[in-house]
Structure 1
Amino acid sequence: MNHKPYKNLNNSKKEQIVTMFDRIAETYDQLNGLITFGMDKTWRRRVAKMIAANDPKTILDAATGTGALAIDLAEYSSARIIGVDISGEMLSIGKEKIKHLELDHKITLELDDAEALSFNPDTFDAISIGFGVRNFDNLNKGLSEIYRVLKPGGQLVILETSVPKYFPFKQGYYLFSHWIIPMLGKIFSKEKLAYEYLSDSASIFPYGKRFNRILKENKFVSIANHPQMLGIVTIYTAFK
């Protein structure tokens, strides 16, 4: 899990992740929509509906970035939502969006590290993570922290990249993710290395049953995975 965005630098993965997301914050939402052909919104809404179905009163959106998933959660749930991220620039974009949508009364964004959360144990009824866990410096440490602050019986829902299994979708995915996405990143954000990292990390991150096992090793129960769009992304659900 120590794949880094800037291989020529010696600083930690976490430091590089902060630098990378600070650099691409302004164009992140637009490029995310372009790269996924707008399906990112559909996937986030599915996550929001899964969480809202259990009627939580408090939700943590870890690795919230620009708050896109937190905003969708607010559409389907009356819960109080706290979004945390380690990128100050991503949070700044998110705060502007939340203010514009007049959702300040429902959503709070805070600078915090998902691998060392500042919250007390058993704080949240539900926790969401959208396209964030593969960027953790230490995956098990991050999941352990998520488990710690989740209430007993609380729900975890993760939206993360995966790799299609079958021909020709697997081959098409490889071509698109390793060639087209970095090119789009270079054109629209001037950060080709960032989008090379995002593509490479997606292809090596454990998914499906492998990630289910990692969740189980971190004490989560009732684990299920739900592949989306032929397995390009997967939604994972689990409980404490």
Structure 2
Amino acid sequence: MKSQTKPYKNSCLAKKKQVQQMFDRISSRYDFINRILSFGIDMQWRKKLVHCLSEYAPNRILDVATGTGDLAILSAQQMPNLHIMGMDLSEGMLHLGREKVVEKKLDDRIKMLHGDSEHIPFDECYFDAVTVAFGIRNFENLSAGLLEMHRVLKPTGHLLILEFSTPLSFPTKQLYSFYARYLLPFIGRILSEDKAAYAYLPKSAAAFPYGKEMEAILVKSGFYDVQLLPLTFGVATIYMAKRG
């Protein structure tokens, strides 16, 4: 894996603390900015992940890096018998997520917990599935986070990860590179109060392992039968794996 990317290059804080501060700062406009920057495609990607998840018919899942709860809410709406624990480092994001859950009358099935992916506060073999949408690249220690998710999964459990990847074919690769390098940070600076946040996003995505490299990391962390589902010409990828 490439060198670790952090939100604030002049800060001496660890990546985990920087990520927490960043999301607390941008939480109030996070959903609005995301819809604009992705043209709404990010919600379609989440729906695809939920469709994949529903095929396993889980009863209890953990949504790591839940943010404002978009994936948790979509999952609960698609699967009426599903109970979800959403966990995130940022209290700012969780506060908005809890409001959304109550507004959609899903607070009896979705709970939001402040927590750290490297120290998940649940017993081993507790969840049928663990999901992560656009959060795993923010982990300070990827291996520790994956091992924790492996620990809390049941022996028949599944891990589903949705994360950015890098398109490889022409002209998608060139168009995506231009958008990520120039347009996304520019628009993010205009709309967000935190100028560094949307410069960090494309840098963290570029530094994160994807494709076969990510598959190898999952296998090394104890998962097997890893499947890759590229989305929108490879701009994002869903990784599905079973607990080894």
TM-score over 0.5 for the alignment?
yes
Q: Which of 192, 199, 203 is equivalent to 1:200?
A: 203
Counterpart-to-counterpart distance in 2, 1:203 and 1:54: 31
Contact 2:65 2:89 in 1 (8 A): yes
Identity %: 43
Counterpart-to-counterpart distance in 2, 1:165 and 1:27: 31
Deviation at 1:115, TM superposition (A): 1.0
Partner of 1:44: 46
Partner of 2:27: 25
The alignment of Structure 1 onto Structure 2 pairs a total of residues equal to 240
Whether 1:176 and 2:179 are equivalent positions in the alignment is: yes
Amino acid at match of 2:141: N
Q: Which of 156, 167, 170 is equivalent to 1:167?
A: 170
Moved over 4 A (4+): none
Partner of 2:120: 117
Q: Which of 63, 66, 77 is equivalent to 2:65?
A: 63
Contact 2:67 2:88 in 1 (8 A): yes
Amino acid at match of 2:168: K
Q: Look up the SS of the partner of 2:229 in the other structure.
A: strand
Deviation at 1:79, TM superposition (A): 1.1
Q: What CA deviation, in whole Å up to 9, does each residue of 1:140-165 have, x standing for no partner?
A: 00000000001101011100000100
Partner of 1:6: 8
Counterpart-to-counterpart distance in 1, 2:224 and 2:156: 9
Amino acid at match of 1:44: R
Amino acid at match of 2:92: E
Q: What CA deviation, in whole Å up to 9, does each residue of 1:81-117 have, x standing for no partner?
A: 0000000000001001011111101100000111111
Partner of 2:161: 158
Counterpart-to-counterpart distance in 2, 1:234 and 1:192: 27
Partner of 1:217: 220
Whether 1:76 and 2:78 are equivalent positions in the alignment is: yes
Q: What CA deviation, in whole Å up to 9, does each residue of 1:10-63 have, x standing for no partner?
A: 010000000000011111111111111111111111111111111111010000
Contact 2:164 2:205 in 1 (8 A): yes
Deviation at 1:191, TM superposition (A): 1.8
Q: What CA deviation, in whole Å up to 9, does each residue of 1:189-236 have, x standing for no partner?
A: 122211111110111211011100000000101101110000000000
Q: Look up the SS of the partner of 2:7 in the other structure.
A: coil
Partner of 2:134: 131
Whether 1:88 and 2:54 are equivalent positions in the alignment is: no
**TM-score, normalised relative to structure 2:** 0.97
Q: Look up the SS of the partner of 2:196 in the other structure.
A: helix
Amino acid at match of 2:156: G
CA RMSD of aligned residues (A): 0.8
Whether 1:101 and 2:122 are equivalent positions in the alignment is: no
Amino acid at match of 2:26: I
Counterpart-to-counterpart distance in 1, 2:236 and 2:195: 22
Amino acid at match of 2:21: T
Deviation at 1:2, TM superposition (A): 2.2
Provide structure 1 residue ranges, at least 5 long, that are not aligned to the other structure: none
Amino acid at match of 1:37: F
